């Protein structure tokens, strides 16, 4: 029998999965989905608080339930979805799409958080919308990181959960995965890796907390901060992947 906690986790993962594919939703739908996600997270956070779970640990646990379910596309599908582009041009287009998505989420989240800052529910001392925005932005960036590995031909082995763990850890370090490094394709995050992931998520949430302010300033700040952060991540990961391996055969420089 599926527990209430499992149903909440499934709902959160499903909503985040829909929010990381912005081409399938318009602005009004994204706002609606972000609102539903905030409510689901509020419920999960209240249970975590009652169980004595710390905010950082809870946030990392929620994210690691989401990561294996992210809709990461293979190289052929990426080409099909991006008009046949290959190589660096395909990577450029992936980054543009991800930047546009995190900018949109930041603008929506910043506006909602600013408007509802004084209203319940609060998530472990942070507004629900800020936590929702943090998880969606992290998911978009991890999906981008995983798909950039496809573009640059750097294969990460293992099953879905193992690969998701590797990509989440790489995101926490803001770099690409080195498949030859010791410990690659591990089944679970170790203590040091969990700490790194918690710190990165908390740092991302702290960035989003700075968007609290009058309605329009919150929206503008949220979008701008996410745009800058996603571009910075993409630049670091692409530089790392270029050092590891050439682009797939036949791809233009």
User: Cα separation of 145 and 160, whole Å?
Assistant: 15
Question: Of all helices (H) and strands (E), which one includes residue 133?
Answer: helix 128-151
3-state secondary structure string across the chain: CCCHHHHHHHHHHHHHHHHCCHHHCCHHHHHHHHHHHHHHHHHHHHHHHHCCCCHHHHHHHHHHHHHHHCCCCCHHHHHHHCCCCCHHHHHHHHHHHHHHHHHHHHHHHHHHHHHHCCCCCEECCEEHHHHHHHHHHHHHHHHHHHHHHHHCCCCCCCCHHHHHHHHHHHHHHCCCCCCCCCCCCCCCCCHHHHHHHHHHHHHHHHHHHCCCCCHHHHHHHHHHHHHHHHHHHHHHHHHHHHHHCCCCCCCCC
- Ranges 75-89, 115-129, 143-157: which has the least confidence: 115-129
pLDDT of residue 198: 92
User: Cα separation of 176 and 154, whole Å?
Assistant: 9
User: Cα separation of 156 and 18, whole Å?
Assistant: 24
Q: Structure tokens of 138?
A: 């992290």
Contact (Cβ atoms closer than 8 angstroms) between residue 34 and residue 157: no
12-41 per-position pLDDT tens digit: 999 999 999 866 667 778 888 888 898 899
Query: Is 155's pLDDT higher than 50?
Result: yes
pLDDT of residue 35: 84
Segment 174-188 mean pLDDT: 70
- Ranges 17-21, 80-84, 168-172, 203-207: which has the least confidence: 203-207
The more confident residue out of 74 and 3 is: 74
Question: Cα 207 to chain center, whole Å?
Answer: 14
86-131 per-position pLDDT tens digit: 999 999 999 999 999 988 887 665 445 444 444 444 433 346 788 8
- Ranges 21-25, 163-167, 203-207: which has the least confidence: 21-25
pTM of the model: 0.85
């Amino acid at each position: 029998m599926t527990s209430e906690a499992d149903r909440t986790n499934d709902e959160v993962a499903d909503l985040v999965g829909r929010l990381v594919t912005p081409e399938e939703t318009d602005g009004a739908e994204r706002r609606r989905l972000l609102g539903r996600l905030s409510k689901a997270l509020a419920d999960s956070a209240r249970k975590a608080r009652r169980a004595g779970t710390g905010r950082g640990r809870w946030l990392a646990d929620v994210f690691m339930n989401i990561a294996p379910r992210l809709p990461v596309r293979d190289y052929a599908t990426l080409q099909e979805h991006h008009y046949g582009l290959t190589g660096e041009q395909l990577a450029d287009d992936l980054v543009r799409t991800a930047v546009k998505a995190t900018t949109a989420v930041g603008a929506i989240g910043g506006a909602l958080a600013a408007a509802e800052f004084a209203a319940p529910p609060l998530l472990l001392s942070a507004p629900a919308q800020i936590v929702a925005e943090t998880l969606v932005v992290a998911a978009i960036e991890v999906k981008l990181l995983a798909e950039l590995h496809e573009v640059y031909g750097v294969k990460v082995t293992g099953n879905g959960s193992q690969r998701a763990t590797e990509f989440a850890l790489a995101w926490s370090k803001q770099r690409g995965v080195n498949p030859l490094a010791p410990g690659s394709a591990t089944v679970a995050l170790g203590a040091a890796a969990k700490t790194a992931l918690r710190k990165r998520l908390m740092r991302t949430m702290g960035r989003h907390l700075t968007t609290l302010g009058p309605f329009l300033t919150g929206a503008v700040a949220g979008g701008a901060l996410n745009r800058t952060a996603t571009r910075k991540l993409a630049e670091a990961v692409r530089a790392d992947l270029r050092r590891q391996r050439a682009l797939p055969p036949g791809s233009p420089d």
